[in-house]
Amino acid sequence: KYSVFVAFAPHFKALARVAYFKIVSKDESNAKRMLYELYRFMMWFFILLYNIQHLIRVIQVRHSTEQLVDTLFILLTTLNCLGKQVAFNARSGRIHKIIETIQESTFAPTKPYHLDLLKKNAVSMSQILSFYQCGCLTCAALWTIFPFINRTRGREVTFTGYLPFDTSVTSTFYLALAYMSVLITIQAFGHVTMDCTIVAFYAQAKVQIKMLRYNLEHFMDADEENIRIDTQITGTNYEQNTHKVNTNDIIIMTQKRLTNHVDHYEKIASFVKEVESIFSEAMIVQFFAMAWVICMTVYKIASLSILSVEFISMAMYLGCMLGQLFIYCYFGTELKVESEFICQSVYCGDWLSLSPSFRRKLLVFMTYCSKPLALRTAYIIPMCLDTYIAVLKSSYSLFTFLNRN
């Protein structure tokens, strides 16, 4: 029996590994749980320490723009990550509830086409996760290597966090470098995994809508086929319907199907709303952090020459930020576009064979489905590709404007 949760398994496994979020399973020994709680406490402690160190340094260097900008880059990113981490931990009950919703029977596949869709979705989600994880590990590795190279070249290296001891001595330098890079790697990894998890929720909603659309387009299809597939997937015994059908049976069957579809859509819509509300504050933090970082990066890049090492690292950082925004906007658009076609799927089903009174029921459903499931950040900014293009356009205009000056 195929579980819909398979698409999320790698994400939650990775999250558990860095102690960001763990799905509570009943059959775990007390000792293991205590150990894991200790691990989580230590992780929280170090991450908060890291952020406080950077905050102190920001206050320290507030008069020197260069160093301020350098520190703010890191601080804003880690604050962004912290926002999402707080959402995951403070609302873990609600997240557990939506995981349970995913595993309910309404979302389960009932036809071979559904199985196909779910498997493809699981594959693409794990591919996106691995891609982003590799990307972030590469960036973190480069971030570690740059100070090392600069140090061997004899240039002075200042850390972006406040450290109470002097880092010019070799041993303390390497200690500080190790500490900083390990923490930033963990935070980057956790950040990327959390992003991919949130996106996986939206992608799952989109796949469910695709399944609903397929059901609606085959609304009046023969029942025997469905029965056969049901027995295949669920493995239960099912009394075959007799081939003799009378009008009453048809009415009951179509009514049951309509009820199922209405219920399915209702569950999908509430699922999307719930995910949106769980992460709404984290998205607001992300939006502001991203806007600020993009402005600062563009300001910095405009004054650098092309092909210097700093330019490349700045450009890479900007690329990472834009890549992060891209998956949100892309899957937000996919969800919206897919939900706009539900009404069309009802139309493409065989409603002509139905009585006028049943058509009116379908009409109520069509009217409700004509409102698309559009995601929003902070209630005003839609999470779609138009927003992404607007962000790209504004940063390019800013860059051109600063370059000319």
Partner 1 sequence: MMTKVKAQGLVTDLMPNIKLMQAAGHFLFNYHSDNSGMSMLLRKVYSSVHAVLIVVNYVCMAINMAQYSDEVNELTANTITVLFFAHSVIKLLFFALNSKSFYRTLAIWNQSNSHPLFTESDARYHQLALTKMRRLLYCICGVTVLSVASWVTLTFFGESVRFIANKETNETMTEPAPRLPLKAWYPFNTMSGTMYIAAFALQIYWLLFSMAIANLLDVMFCSWLIFACEQLQHLKAIMKPLMELSASLDTYRPNTAELFRASSTEKSEKVPDPVDLDIRGIYSTQQDFGITLRGAGGKLQTFGQPTPNNPNGLTQKQEMLARSAIKYWVERHKHVVRLVASIGDTYGTALLFHMLISTITLTLLAYQATKIDGVNVYAFSTLGYLTYTLGQVFHFCIFGNRLIEESSSVMEAAYSCQWYDGSEEAKTFVQIVCQQCQKAMSISGAKFFTVSLDLFASVLGAVVTYFMVLIQLK
CB of 335 to partner 1, least distance (A): 11
**x-or-dash string of contact with partner 1, 203-242, rule CB under 8 A:** ---------------x-xxxx-x-----------------
Residue nearer to partner 1 on the CB measure, 137 or 348: 348
Whether 68 and 61 have beta carbons less than 8 Å apart is answered as: yes
CB of 399 to partner 1, least distance (A): 12
Tell me which amino acid residue 203 is.
Answer: A
Among candidate residues 226, 228, 230, the one with its CA nearest the CA of residue 1:
230
Distance CA 326, CA 221 (A): 39
Q: What is the DSSP letter of 352?
A: G
Binding footprint of partner 1, residue count (CB under 8 A): 34
Among all chains, which residue has been given the structure tokens 């925004």? 325
Residue 330, φ and ψ in degrees, nearest 5: -65, -50
CB of 181 to partner 1, least distance (A): 37
Instruction: Give the residue, chosen from 250, 302, 374, 398, that forms a contact with partner 1 under the rule CB under 8 A.
Output: 250
- Contact status: 389 vs partner 1 (CB under 8 A): yes
Whether 335 and 373 have beta carbons less than 8 Å apart is answered as: yes
Residue nearer to partner 1 on the CB measure, 172 or 355: 355
Burial class (CB in 10 A: 0-12, 13-18, 19+), 169: exposed
Q: Strand, helix or coil at 377?
A: strand
- Single out the segment in contact with partner 1 by CB under 8 A; choices: 1-9, 261-269, 276-284, 337-345: 337-345
Residue nearer to partner 1 on the CB measure, 26 or 243: 243
Residues with Cβ < 8 Å from 60, sequence gap 6 or more? 162
Distance CA 364, CA 369 (A): 9
Residue nearer to partner 1 on the CB measure, 162 or 214: 214
> Both tokens of residue 107?
């979302």
- Contact status: 114 vs partner 1 (CB under 8 A): no
Residue nearer to partner 1 on the CB measure, 262 or 385: 385
Instruction: Give the residue, chosen from 340, 376, 381, 382, that forms a contact with partner 1 under the rule CB under 8 A.
Output: 340
For the chain, what is the radius of gyration of the CA atoms?
26
Which residues inside 348-377 make contact with partner 1, applying CB under 8 A? 348, 350-353, 355-356, 359-360, 362-363, 366-367, 370
- Contact status: 307 vs partner 1 (CB under 8 A): no
Residues with Cβ < 8 Å from 404, sequence gap 6 or more? none
Tell me which amino acid residue 153 is.
Answer: R
- Contact status: 333 vs partner 1 (CB under 8 A): yes
Residue nearer to partner 1 on the CB measure, 22 or 218: 218
Q: Where does this chain bind partner 1 (CB under 8 A)? A: 218, 220-223, 225, 245, 247, 250, 333-334, 337, 340, 343-344, 347-348, 350-353, 355-356, 359-360, 362-363, 366-367, 370, 385-386, 389, 404
